[in-house]
Chain A
Amino acid sequence: MSNRDRTAELMALEPDEATQLYRSGRFTRRDMAKFFAAIGLTSALGPTLARSGVSAADDLTMIIWEGYSDEKYSLPFEEANDAKVDATFAGTGDEMFAAMQGSGGSTYDMVSASSDLPRRLYDADLLMEIDPAKLTNYNDLYPQFQKPPYITFEDKLYGVNFAWGPTIMLYDPEQITTAPTSWKAMLDEANTGKIATWNYPLQIAQYALLLDPKPENPFELTDEQLAQVKDLLIQQRPLVRKYWDLGGEVAELFMAKEIAIADGWPYITQQIMAESGSIAEVSPEEGVTGWSDSWCISKNAANPELALKWADWMIGPEGQAGIMEVMNYSITNKKVIETLDEARRAALRMTNVEEDYARIHMWQFIPAYDKWVQVWQEATAS
């Protein structure tokens, strides 16, 4: 039924009839919003409706990593579903968690959670279980992305894994002429005042890769190892130009020649190249940390059906192509990956997905995370 017919039908109703239908469940909240819009109450009730999660259009609200709502793939989705994607960028997973918990999960329908986050969201009772049968593209995913441990709790699925990638080292070849090979370059006095590093306690894991002996799992650190990383960070402090918060900021810092080296994502490289800036990527010899991102749906989402459609869209051919093109990230849909030529697969770090994936220390849930936050703040904010 087209939108207009439905609205016409709604307009024929009396307000109390509508309320009754709503209570009986035959009338969705979206219908309610349309109904109020139709009888001209939107302006009066607008704020109340917005707060209770009902909006006039089919709004899909999300809190995400920068770029995950790029028009390249959000516009076709909006057109196909007569919906509107309303995204907020977060600089860290912690920010996503705080935003989700602060509103009891009612402000955002969904969140692009990296591999460390779903556990916390699940423990806080903020996630909605996902039925894979409702996802048309689900069976095209590599088996390892269908039901990975970071989005599976008590054998139930709570996320749709759609992208992954490493946090690498970026540098400006115009300023640093010999390619650095180690994370040590981020602690090198030769780069004083030219270093930017991500302002995120989780980055402790990246610097833990420099410890000797190297911890087997950089996300499971002893207190002693944490203290050693803290020393590294304190040693790094006087060299740092900027602790960055958003990816766009790093691109801007490189473009303005404020910095010469930073940790960052392939998306940042992509942004700088799009502006013909000078940038190069290095995958340091100590190894890299990285993320595996999933769409998780809030338990109190106003639009759970639409959220599910978005998740499905993003693991489908169009969404996955967009992630590769816009974000420069690796993807999870086997069928789509198999259509790519060798060079493209190599460029996107997906020559052999299982092996390439295993090589990255993927972010994981950290039980004593407040300790990490404390160490990070003490080392960077003092």
Chain B
Amino acid sequence: MAAIAAKDEQAAPSGRKGGPLPLLALPLGWMLVFYLIPLALLLVHAFWSVDYLTIDRTFTLENIKAVFTVAPYPAVLIRTLLMAAAVTLTDIAIAFPISWWLAKKVTSHRELLLMLVVFPLWSSYLVRAFAWKTILGTNGILNSFLQTTGITSEPISAFLYSKTGMYITFCHVWLPFMILPLYTILDRLPDTLLEASGDLGGNGWKTFLRVILPLSLPGLLAGSVSVFSLTMGDYITPSLIGGSPGTELIGGIVADQFGVANNWPLGAALILPILAIVIGLLLVANRFGALGRDER
């Protein structure tokens, strides 16, 4: 995606009179009215408190303090970060070879193969999470397979309603978000650079570390930001595939504060660390050109 944006920038003659401002006014206005202002309204709640049924609008830092001191919030926050990190790293490990193969090795039917990568996104996210339920269940497809092949004698119940199950589901549902930016950037990587590296005596591993990896960093970061933040904020998979002790993620806690406990101030305060982390990641990604700045 980063590369596509960069391409457009190059193609468009820059410095045209009038600039893009009139064109941008509508989307910017839309963002402001329907996204930024509501978000700000929501976030100020973090500094208020709830008094039975009404919101007490006196400034307080109690909610922020609670996020970091009151059980279960700190533990859940850490668990969420670890889960998001594990899913991101796994998706990188899976997506890199796939993207490389798609970009450099496939000679025919590449569009079809790319379509297959995107294909799962056509179905609802809920459907995919439910599908994993039938796969991971005690009498599910995975356990039946393991038992008929004799790998295990008893069904393993730890696949479903567990962190393992959530991890597997997350890795699968967010994978396209990692493959697509990586593919885009690898597709644009000139083969001549790889040949040059080989000519200069770099073996495969060295070429990967010194040439491919640095050049694919923007795609890698763009994908990572997507996968990481999607995992951080999700509450559907934890409720469908998790739901057992020790599987609650911060998204679920936030949803509960708004939809169940009716404690908007605490819910808003719980959003702050998530938002801070995601913004931090975006800044880092931006620093390395993942958001479309072309530094060549």
Which residues of A does B touch, CB under 8 Å?
A: 92, 94-95, 97-99, 101-102, 120, 123-124, 193, 199, 237-238, 240-245, 256-258, 370, 373-374, 377-378, 380-382
Is A94 a contact of B261 with CB atoms below 8 Å?
A: yes
Partner of A377, one of B160, B239, B245, B256: B256
Interface contacts beyond A240-B245, A257-B139, A378-B71: sample of 5 additional A-B pairs, CB < 8 Å, sorted by A: A99-B259, A242-B243, A243-B243, A258-B137, A373-B263
A353–B224 Cα gap in the complex (Å)?
61
B205 in contact (CB, < 8 A): no
Name the one of A94, A256, A378 contacting B137, with C-beta atoms under 8 angstroms: A256
A191 to B: closest C-beta gap in Å: 13
Interface pair B260/A92, CB less than 8 Å apart = yes
* B52 touching A123, Cβ below 8 Å: yes
Q: What residue in chain B is nearest A126 (Cβ atoms)? A: B53
B69 contacts the other chain (CB 8 A):
no
Contact between B53 and A120, CB atoms less than 8 A apart: yes
Instruction: Say yes or no: A243-B261 contact (C-beta < 8 A), given A377-B256, A381-B72.
Output: no
19 A-B pairs in the complex with CB atoms less than 8 angstroms apart: A99-B259, A101-B53, A123-B53, A124-B53, A241-B157, A241-B244, A243-B244, A244-B243, A256-B139, A258-B137, A370-B50, A370-B263, A373-B261, A374-B70, A377-B72, A377-B253, A380-B248, A381-B248, A381-B253
- State whether B72 touches A258 (Cβ < 8 A): no
CB distance from A186 to the nearest CB of B (A): 14
User: When the two chains form their complex, are residues B160 and A258 in contact, meaning their CB atoms are under 8 A apart?
Assistant: yes
Interface 0/1 of B87-102, CB less than 8 Å to A = 0000000000000000
Q: How far is the CA of A348 from the CA of B29 in the complex (A)?
A: 59
Interface: B198 (CB within 8 A): no
Name B253's closest neighbour in chain A (CB-CB): A381
Chain B residue, CB-CB nearest to A99: B259
- Is the CB of B174 closer than 8 A to any CB of chain A? no
- B residues sitting closer than 8 Å to A (CB atoms) are 50, 52-53, 70-72, 75-76, 137-139, 157, 160-161, 239, 243-246, 248, 252-253, 256, 258-263
- Tell me if A381 and B76 are in contact (CB < 8 A): yes
Cα A101 to Cα B53 with chains together (Å): 9
A242 surroundings in chain B (CB, below 8 A): 161, 243-244
Chain A residues within an 8 Å CB radius of B259:
94-95, 98-99
Q: Is the Cβ of B258 less than 8 Å from the Cβ of A258? A: no
- CB-CB under 8 A from A258, the residues of chain B are 137-138, 157, 160-161
A378 → B minimal CB distance (Å): 5
Task: Looking at the assembled complex, report how far the CB atom of A232 sits from the nearest CB atom of chain B, in whole angstroms.
Answer: 14
A370 to chain B, nearest CB (A): 7
Give the distance to chain A from B45, nearest Cβ to Cβ, in Å.
13
The minimal Cβ–Cβ distance linking A355 to chain B, given in whole angstroms, is 34
Once the chains are docked, how many angstroms separate the CA of A317 from the CA of B53? 37
Q: Which of B76, B137, B248, B258 is the one whose CB lies under 8 Å from A98? A: B258
CA distance A361 to B41 in the complex (A): 41
A377 to B253, CA, bound (A): 9
**B245 and A101: CB pair below 8 A?**
no
Q: How far is the CA of A193 from the CA of B258 in the complex (A)?
A: 30
Task: Let me know if A382 and B262 touch, CB within 8 A.
Answer: no
B262 touches A101 (CB 8 A): yes
C-alpha gap A98/B59 in the complex (Å): 23
A247 to chain B, nearest CB (A): 15
Question: How far does the Cβ of A289 sit from chain B's closest Cβ, in whole Å?
Answer: 18
Shortest distance in angstroms between B57's beta carbon and chain A's nearest beta carbon? 17
| Closest 6 A/B residue pairs (Cβ) | A382-B72, A381-B248, A237-B245, A94-B260, A381-B72, A373-B261
